[in-house]
């Protein structure tokens, strides 16, 4: 069994797939862009950090960057249209972009309501 898992670890699981990753210029999105690229996907990084996004795309095989603020519908439409014109299709849309609220790490910072409602 060990040889089977050793072989499958090297199989490119996204060969030929086309993926848009929003928020792909940094953090989890950039890490996912690297992983998708390693697995053979054509990756389009869609972000608002142009310099960083271009730099991540440049380091990857078959990756590109498009400026896209996900709060603007026309930017999202443009990202999808640009991807489809460049690659002829879109297989994966990873909607990763986002910002988190201030993280409360201690239970003492929480109110009873927030614990019940999982705020």
**Contacts with ligand NAD, residue ranges (CB under 6 A):** 22-23, 25-29, 47-49, 68-71, 96-100
CB of 95 to ligand NAD, least distance (A): 9
CB of 29 to ligand NAD, least distance (A): 5
CA distance 34 to 43: 9
Sign of the C-alpha dihedral, residues 67, 71, 75, 79? positive
φ, ψ for residue 88, nearest 5 deg: 85, -5
Beta carbon nearer to ligand NAD, 48 or 93: 48
Beta carbon nearer to ligand NAD, 16 or 29: 29
CB of 13 to ligand NAD, least distance (A): 22
Residue nearest to ligand NAD (CB): 27
CA distance 116 to 119: 8
Task: Report which of 27, 84, 75 is spatially closest to residue 48, judged by C-alpha positions.
Answer: 75
């Amino acid at each position: 069994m060990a040889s089977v898992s050793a072989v499958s670890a090297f199989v490119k699981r996204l060969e030929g797939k086309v993926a848009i990753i929003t928020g792909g210029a940094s953090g989890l999105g950039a890490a996912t862009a690297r992983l998708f690229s390693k697995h053979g996907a054509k990756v389009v990084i869609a972000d608002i950090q142009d310099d960083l996004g271009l730099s991540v795309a440049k380091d990857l095989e078959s990756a590109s960057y498009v400026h896209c603020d996900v709060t603007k519908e026309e930017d999202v439409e443009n990202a999808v249209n640009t991807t489809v014109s460049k690659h002829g299709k879109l297989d994966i849309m990873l909607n990763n972009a986002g910002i988190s609220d201030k993280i409360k790490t201690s239970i003492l910072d929480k109110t009873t309501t927030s614990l019940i409602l999982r705020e």
